[in-house]
Structure 1
Amino acid sequence: MNYSEINYLEIGKRIRYARKSQNKTQEWLAEQVDVGTTHISHIETGNTKLSLKTLILIANALNVSSNELLCDNLVNSQDVYNVKINKILEECDNNEKKIINEILNFVLILLRKYNIT
């Protein structure tokens, strides 16, 4: 990824995911942030660039960190991914963890073999 360019599509996807995971509507978020619903829709689809102020208001309204919303654009975002992976693993039994471990090891081998990182 070219870290000199901001990936607004990924930011929008993360905002949408956070909103939907809390069963919140675009209308609710727009009201919290004091913008129009159409603006929220455009942010979530990556069709508009959001301001730093709007990003902060959205993060606060959804009770998520800005790092969580920006992690696809940050070089040092390991902590965000570690938290997400740990959260998934907390919900797994030992057999599921064993299978996930095997899958991850296989995927990592392929990623490194084909330099896909």
Structure 2
Amino acid sequence: MDVDYREIGLRIRKERTALKISREKFAEMIELSVNYVGQIERGEKKFSVETIVKISSCLHSSLDYLIKGIDLRSKEKSDGELSYLLEKCSTYETALITDVVRVILPHMK
């Protein structure tokens, strides 16, 4: 598995700035130097498992998202939207949509 530290750093910075946390305050929260946090956010330094867990906790972000960019919050939102739309469908429409998904899904993987 290739680890893209630059992408991880960009996601960390994105989450930190979305929460309006300064780099200085963030460094204090995760008990690291401001310089080291900057290097992590630029993808210049690797970090320990303990560090990424602290970062994840402070940012209220999943490790899946920070490390691989998999945003489970978006999936939950999409699942909810899909359920809402299907509730409005008739039995026939739901069956038709299910058939369409069965045909399309194998070609998406």
TM-score by length of 1: 0.60
Q: Which residue of 2 aligns with 1:38?
A: 35
Among 75, 83, 91, the alignment partner of 1:82 is 75
CA distance in 1, matches of 2:71, 2:23: 29
Aligned structure 1 segments of 4 or more residues deviating by more than 3 angstroms? 77-81
CA contact (8 A) 1:11 1:46 kept: yes
Q: Which residue of 2 aligns with 1:94?
A: none
Q: Runs of 5+ in structure 2 lacking a partner?
A: 82-109
Letter in 1 for 2:64: N
How many residues are matched?
81
Seq. identity, %: 27
Larger radius of gyration: 2
RMSD: 2.3
Letter in 2 for 1:5: D
CA contact (8 A) 2:5 2:43 kept: yes
The 1:81–1:7 alpha-carbon spacing in structure 2 relative to 1, beyond 3 Å, is farther
